[in-house]
Amino acid sequence: MSSSLAEDEHLIPYDIQGSLAHVQNLLRARVLTPEEAETLSRGLRTVYHQLESGSAKLLPDHEDVHMNVEQLLAKAVGPVAGKLHTARSRNDQVALDLRLWTRDATLSLARASVRLALALADQATTHVDTPLPGFTHLQPAQPVTLGHQLTAHAWRAVRDAERALQAFDRANVSPLGACALAGTSFPLEPALVAGLLGMDRAFENSLDAVSDRDFALEAAFAASVASTHLSGLSEELILWASPQYGWVTLPEAYTTGSSIMPQKRNPDALELARARAGRVQADLQAIFTITKGLPLAYNRDLQEAKAPLLHAVDTAVETTQVVAACIEGAEFHPAPMLAALQKGHLEATELADLLARTGTPFREAHHKVGRLVAEATRRGCMLRDLPPGVFAAQGVAVTSEVQRVLDPALAASAKTSPGGTAPERVAERLRDLRATLGRLDGEIQERACKTARALELLSGETKA
C-alpha cells in the first residue's frame, strides 16, 4: 500500500538529475571529497543508463524510486553511496522530482497546444472567406466564416499554451535543501542546485518547500482547461463529420469502421478526446481533495497526488497531439456549408441592422423583421423570396441594399467590426495569431534551454 513505484517509473531521470546536483552541493559544502563526488556522479549516471536500458529495474523490495536508486548506486560504487543522502530527505527529494517532471510535461503541453493552434490557423487561412452558419444554443444564428470559427478555437489553444508555460514557471523552483521540513545544519547552497538544474530560484521557506503542491494543481488546471477546449472542438467536428452536416471529412487514421455496418466511419479519436476531458477534470479535483486541510509539513497523503498529476498532464498532451493531427488532415467542404445557410433565416439580423442604420429604432426594426420571418416560415420560403407587398406591409422598401443583405452568403462579410467575421478582419487576426505563435515558440525554446541544463548533468557535461 505504501509503495509508489507505479508512478515513480516516470521520475527516474529526474531523481537522478536531482541527486547529481545534490552531489555538487555536498562537494561545495566539503561533505564530499572531489574523489567521492566523482565516484558518486559516475555511479549515478551508470544507474541511470541501467534503468533506461532495462538492465536494472525498480524493485518492489524498495518502496520508491529514491530507495531503488540508492540501492543500485551502492551496488555500483560501494559504501560511499551512503553519503549521498546527507542533508537531504525524501520529502524535499520527491518534491524536486515532481517539479522537474512537471516542467517537462507542461512544456510538452505548450508545444502541443501551439501545434494545434498552427493547424487551426492553416485551415483558417485556406477558408478565410468560406461562409457557414454560426450557432448559439445549437440553433442557426448568424452567418460566419469557417476561418473565423477555426480561429476562435486557435485562440483557445494559444491560451492553453500560455497557461502551460505559466505552470512551468510555477514548477521551476527548487525545494532541495529544505530537507525533511526544517532545513539542515550542513552549509548547503540551495541556489547552487537550482542553477545546476536550470531552475529559476530556490525555495524561500523549508516548511513550504516540502509541502507545496500548488504547482501540481496549476499544471493539472492547465491540462483540465486544455482538455475542456479539446472536448468542445471535438464535439463540433463530430457533428460536422456526420452525413446530416457533411461539412468535414476526418483523416481515416483517426476514424474506425463499424463491426457490423460497412458504410460507417466513426470519429473514435475525437470521441475519446471528448471523454478524456472528464477524466482530466477528475484528476484536478482529486489533487484538490487530497491536498485540502493538510497540516504542515509533509504528509503521506501527498504521495496520492502523484498519479492524478501524471495522468492529467500526460493525457492532455497526448490528446492535444491527436486532435492537432485530425485538424491537419481534415478536409472541409464549403458547398454543404453554403447550402446550410439557406435554412433558418440567418440573414434576419443583418436586415434588422440595415433598418437601424437607416433610422428605424432597433427594437422596432427587430419586430418588423420578426414578423417577416414568421411569414417566410409560414410560407416555407426564405426572406428574399417574399413578395414585395409583404415587405411593404412592414414599411420595408426592397432596395438593392436590402436585396444584398438578404443573401446569407454575403452577410458574414458585413461584420467588419474589430474581431468580427468579415474575411478582412479574420485575415488581420490570423496575422496577429501567427505573430503570437512565433512569440510562444520563442518562450518555449527559452524554457527548453533551462531543462537542457538538467540533461547535461546526466551526460556529465555540467560541472559546479
**Residues marked as catalytic:** 137, 258
Burial class (CB in 10 A: 0-12, 13-18, 19+), 65: buried
Pairwise CA distance, residues 297 & 279, whole Å: 29
Look up residue 116 and give its three cell numbers. Answer: 494545434
From residue 55, give the alpha-carbon distance in Å to each of 48, 58, 72, 318, 408: 10, 10, 11, 28, 67
From residue 361, give the alpha-carbon distance in Å to each of 23, 138, 355, 356: 77, 29, 8, 6
Pairwise CA distance, residues 464 & 447, whole Å: 21
Question: Which residue has 517509473 as its cell numbers?
Answer: 9
Pairwise CA distance, residues 39 & 304, whole Å: 34
Q: How many helices (H) and strands (E) does the chain have?
A: 18, 8
**56 within 8 A of 18, measured Cβ to Cβ:** no
Q: 343 Cβ partners below 8 Å, 6+ apart?
A: 140
